[in-house]
Amino acid sequence: MPSPFAPFPLNRSRRLRRTGWMRDMVAQSSLTADDLIWPIFVREGEGVVEPVASMPGVNRLSVDEAVRAANEAAALGIPCIALFPYTKAQHKTPECEEAFNPENLVNRATRAIKAAVPGIGVMLDVALDPYNSMGHDGLVRDGVVVNDETLMALEKQALVQAEAGADILGPSDMMDGRIGIIRQALEAHDFPDVAIMAYSAKFASAFYGPFRDAVGASGALKGDKSTYQIDARNADEALREVARDISEGADMVMVKPGMPYLDICQRVKAEFGLPTFAYQVSGEYAMIMAAGGRGWIDEEKAMLESLMGFKRAGCDGVLTYFAPRVAALLAE
């Protein structure tokens, strides 16, 4: 087939790059505060803002400070925040009972935020790792992360989170069958409107390191998560996981980590057309901040470029620790 494009010099790509207004006019992707979900770490106490060493600019917040952050997010036009608990060691057990305590940290924080900032969405992770003395996302029996027994625990966890007022549940555990179990439990217990954003294409990744520090799971974790998270070599498998989660009742799907998996983002959006999100995870954030902090890259530009990459790949939104900073920048 002959090329429809005129050859040089009739065709010059640089004509459309000559001025700022022209570049803005022809720009294909855009980034707005609406695209952002802000992950926040919560901890016990009052008036506590505790820096996370491996994530400069990110803090663990007590519930009252998390309410303040929720207000800040709402003022910035960020539609949703995702809460993650820093759980004290004494609340971590092999059976993960704290996960289904209606009064656990994230459930209390959700109630407080919902009461104080009605306009903001709250998303909660469904997974056992913050509460597991073994550090894994599932129950461990004889050294094995067991699937079906874990599903019963996840079901209980999801129900107390829905009861607390979570708008979106994000199953991040990668057990088989979890979306179906959770969706059916929500229907059976009169929570038909709680949305599920499935961490469907969640890879076994080195980029979660700083997050595990932030939630205090690093020390506890025995071994790695490669018996349940996806192998980094596999793309088709990630698409099958997405297909299965959709068939079990997921409303939205997520790819995680983000930047090393943009091919997956693009394929998922193209194949299924569901609202598709990327999680720019803790290690991605830490890399940009570390290089930026040393003056090796322009931190702000790298931040914006990294987020635009997700939009260009077809994502509808991004979970990012940069959310408040980007939203403030975009509002200028």
Binding to ligand PBG (CB under 6 A) within 28-87 occurs at none
Q: Kindly state whether residue 129 participates in binding ligand PBG, applying the rule CB under 6 A.
A: yes
Q: Kindly state whether residue 125 participates in binding ligand PBG, applying the rule CB under 6 A.
A: yes
Tell me the number of residues near ligand PBG by CB under 6 A: 12
Toward ligand PBG, which CB reaches closer, 120 or 127? Answer: 127
Distance between CA atoms of 246 and 212, rounded to whole angstroms? Answer: 28
CB of 58 to ligand PBG, least distance (A): 10
Q: Long-range contacts for 180-183 (Cβ within 8 Å, ≥24 apart)?
A: 180/248, 180/249, 181/151, 181/154, 181/155, 182/126, 182/154, 182/155, 182/158, 182/249, 183/248, 183/249, 183/250
Site string for ligand PBG, 137-156 (x = CB under 6 A): x-------------------
Residue 252: strand pairing partners: 197
Distance between CA atoms of 330 and 332, rounded to whole angstroms? Answer: 5
Burial 220-237 (b: 16+ CB within 10 A, else e): beeeebeebbbeeeeeee
Catalytic residue, from 202, 225, 269, 311: name it: 202
Binding to ligand PBG (CB under 6 A) within 196-215 occurs at 208, 211-212
256 annotated active-site: yes
Catalytic residue, from 92, 114, 225, 256: name it: 256
Distance between CA atoms of 242 and 123, rounded to whole angstroms? Answer: 19
Q: Kindly state whether residue 282 participates in binding ligand PBG, applying the rule CB under 6 A.
A: yes
Residues acting as catalytic residues: 202, 256
Applying CB under 6 A, the residues found at the interface with ligand PBG are 125, 127, 129, 137, 172-173, 208, 211-212, 225, 281-282
